[in-house]
Structure 1
Amino acid sequence: MALSRRMAASALLLLVLLVATEMGATTTKVAEARDCLSQSFKFKGACLSSSNCAAVCHTENFPDGECHRQHLELKCFCKRPC
């Protein structure tokens, strides 16, 4: 009888610990910023370097730019947070 009480007490303690750790674990949801893309008007030729693309995008008042494949061609797309 003493063994079953001890087992019940241990099981109850384990259950309380599991519930407490689940309640104590706070999950923080962080919203990720989305980027809006716009094809560069000034970039000429195939986009082979995202750093060159970004430099041209700076002249178009965009903070960044990167190469993307569009219809089997690599084109420069300027991006900014939406």
Structure 2
Amino acid sequence: MESSRKFFPAIVILLLVVIASEVAPAQARECETASNKFSGMCMIDANCDHLCKTEGFLSGTCRGFRRRCMCTTSC
């Protein structure tokens, strides 16, 4: 009886890990690269997003101190 009480917390933690891995879907990694066609400072995210989509990327956003248009795609 005493030995089963020692293993109970370990079994509960193991079950929680298994359930959490089943519930959380695997997400695809996203890679980010600078736009080839965007010139100048990126100020409006919608413009960057539209240009990145015309280049074949999933989306785009203005990032960084230099305000570059960065396009995202799945790796």
Q: TM-score scaled by structure 1? A: 0.62
Partner of 1:78: 71
Whether 2:54 is the aligned partner of 1:59: answer yes
Q: Structure 2: give runs of 5+ residues left out of the alignment.
A: none
Specify the SS of the correspondent of 2:67: strand
Report how far residue 31 of structure 1 moved. Answer: 4.5
Q: Tell me which of 9, 22, 32 is aligned to 1:18.
A: 9
Whether 2:63 is the aligned partner of 1:68: answer yes
RMSD between superposed Cα atoms in Å? 2.4
In structure 2, what is the Cα distance between the partners aligned to 1:24 and 1:64? 38
In structure 1, what is the Cα distance between the partners aligned to 2:67 and 2:45? 10
Q: Structure 1: give runs of 5+ residues left out of the alignment.
A: 1-8
Q: TM-score scaled by structure 2? A: 0.67
Specify the SS of the correspondent of 2:28: coil
Amino-acid identity (%)? 29
Change beyond 3 A, Cα 1:53–1:20: same
Q: Kindly provide the CA deviation profile for residues 20-78 of structure 1, in whole angstroms up to 9, marking residues without a partner as x.
A: 32343224176542222221122232112222211011111111111121xx4100011
Equivalent residue pairs, number? 70
